[in-house]
Amino acid sequence: MRMSRAAVAMAMELTFLGTGSAYPSPSRGASALVLRYQGECWLFDCGEGTQTQFMRSQLRAGKIAKIFITHLHGDHLFGLPGLLCTVSLQSSPLSNKQPVEVYGPVGLRKFLRTSMNLSHSQLLFPYVVHELVPTEDQCFPEEWREPCIQKEDDQLHPQELPGKTIYLNPQEDCYNLVTDEQFIVKAFRLFHRIPSFGFVIEEKKRPGRLQTQKLKDMGVQPGPLYGKLKNGQTITLNNGVRIFPMDVLEAPIPGRKICILGDCSRIVGDMGKKLCSDADVLVHEATLDDSQSDKAEEHGHCTPKTAAEFAKSCKVKRLILTHFSQRYKPTALTNAGDDDVMELKTQAELVLEGQEVTLAEDFMVIEIPFNKTKQQIIPTK
């Protein structure tokens, strides 16, 4: 099928660069996931070895515009300073690259700054770290540390720009991270051994197609007026007739919603469920299989059953499991006698009553199709 140019431009895909827990192995890299849209990459978690996973994929690390870190465990973070340095080596000093924006829990700024300063690392582009302030109920009491929020006079790294400190919005019970022309990104709280977050990336709805035939019938020929209507502006013709966008646009095209959760044994509060409802894709961890649910919970992790129960309560269209214990090799590499990762798929699908569940593997690419609505075309009188 040939896609129109507009459809190609709006294509959205997820690429898994690391799907293993705890450490990178030859069969599963440490956590890293890329959302690509209009040529730009947003990276979610950056475990050790993420830069080599990039090189082995179809993606280019130089295209990273934003980085989201779910929590500060090393298997989600240790790749970040190295990745930034390599992107810098490969970029031109004249590139005028926009600052790379990094979002993650309080402490991330200090981690990056310390690793870059101690290693005398310089970048050819600026970066900024926006920190999320966790709440005490996001982890076991013995693991809780008071967030050490940066003071005004803290020394920035030479390429670092001052970032925001983002607190939980008490009315919305979530963190508001990004609002731009195309997307709204929010974070919500997860329970793990240390505070962890889930991210919801929601594409804004786009105006429906212009009903050009209807306009021509009204005597409006193609031209700048079409653009105005498409942009939601009311136009007035020379004869005084006003045309409202809603009269000549088809139903708006709903945006896509992608939810990417960090390590967790459960969601904190009710907002996670609300934010993830009807998501096109939910990426959820399932570190161990259901037979080890006690061990999983003790370590702040989920099994396929708990992940699928959450997916079911949110009515998500597609559940993708990831962050598997390194004992579960990808299917093609499983030998007789090994733990079989397909067990985890079966366990999740049992809860979802047959709805297919995807098991992530390194370099798997998932396209996220447009949401199609019934086109409500009001007949011309």
Catalytic residues: 75
Cβ closest to Zn ion, residue 73 vs residue 130:
73
For residue 205, the minimal CB distance to Zn ion (Å) is 34
For residue 155, the minimal CB distance to Zn ion (Å) is 29
Per-residue binding letters, 135-164, with Zn ion (x by CB under 5 A): ------------------------------
Q: Binders of Zn ion among 4-33, rule CB under 5 A?
A: 21
305 is a contact residue toward Zn ion (CB under 5 A): no
Stretch that binds Zn ion, among 9-17, 166-174, 259-267, 290-298 (CB under 5 A): 259-267
Q: What is the DSSP string of 63-127?
A: GEEEEE-S---GGGTTTHHHHHHHHHHTS-TTS-PPPEEEEEETTHHHHHHHHHHHTT---SS-E
Cα 272 to Cα 55, 109, 260, 267, 313, distances in angstroms: 34, 25, 11, 6, 11
Q: For residue 276, give the nearest of 187, 157, 374 by alpha carbon.
A: 187
Stretch that binds Zn ion, among 103-111, 125-133, 159-167, 256-264 (CB under 5 A): 256-264
Per-residue binding letters, 313-342, with Zn ion (x by CB under 5 A): ------------------------------
Tell me how far apart the terminal alpha carbons of the chain are, to the nearest angstrom: 35
Q: What is the DSSP letter of 272?
A: H
For residue 200, the minimal CB distance to Zn ion (Å) is 20
From the centroid of its chain, how far is CA 169?
Answer: 20
For residue 45, the minimal CB distance to Zn ion (Å) is 8
β-bridge pairing 242-243 and 235-236: antiparallel
- Binding residues for Zn ion, rule CB under 5 A, total 4
Stretch that binds Zn ion, among 36-44, 51-59, 71-79, 269-277 (CB under 5 A): 71-79
Amino acid identity of residue 342, one-letter, is M
Q: Binders of Zn ion among 341-380, rule CB under 5 A?
A: none
48 is a contact residue toward Zn ion (CB under 5 A): no
Cβ closest to Zn ion, residue 75 vs residue 131:
75
Q: Which residue has the tokens 């959760």?
A: 261
Q: For residue 302, give the nearest of 259, 359, 264 by alpha carbon.
A: 264
Which tokens go with 40? 């730009």
Q: For residue 22, give the nearest of 288, 374, 354, 359 by alpha carbon.
A: 288
130 is a contact residue toward Zn ion (CB under 5 A): no
Of residues 45, 263, 290, 362, which one binds Zn ion by CB under 5 A? Answer: 263
Give every CB contact of residue 208 below 8 A, 6+ residues apart in sequence. Answer: 249, 250, 251, 252, 253, 375
Stretch that binds Zn ion, among 74-82, 227-235, 265-273, 339-347 (CB under 5 A): 74-82
289 is a contact residue toward Zn ion (CB under 5 A): no
Amino acid identity of residue 175, one-letter, is Y
Cβ closest to Zn ion, residue 28 vs residue 73:
73
Give every CB contact of residue 182 below 8 A, 6+ residues apart in sequence. Answer: 37, 203, 204
Stretch that binds Zn ion, among 68-76, 168-176, 203-211, 324-332 (CB under 5 A): 68-76
For residue 160, the minimal CB distance to Zn ion (Å) is 26
- Compute the distance between CA of residue 49 and CA of residue 19 in angstroms, rounded to an integer: 12
Cβ closest to Zn ion, residue 136 vs residue 154:
136
Cβ closest to Zn ion, residue 195 vs residue 208:
195
Of residues 73, 97, 257, 284, which one binds Zn ion by CB under 5 A? Answer: 73
- How many residues in the chain? 381
Binding site for Zn ion (CB under 5 A): 21, 73, 75, 263
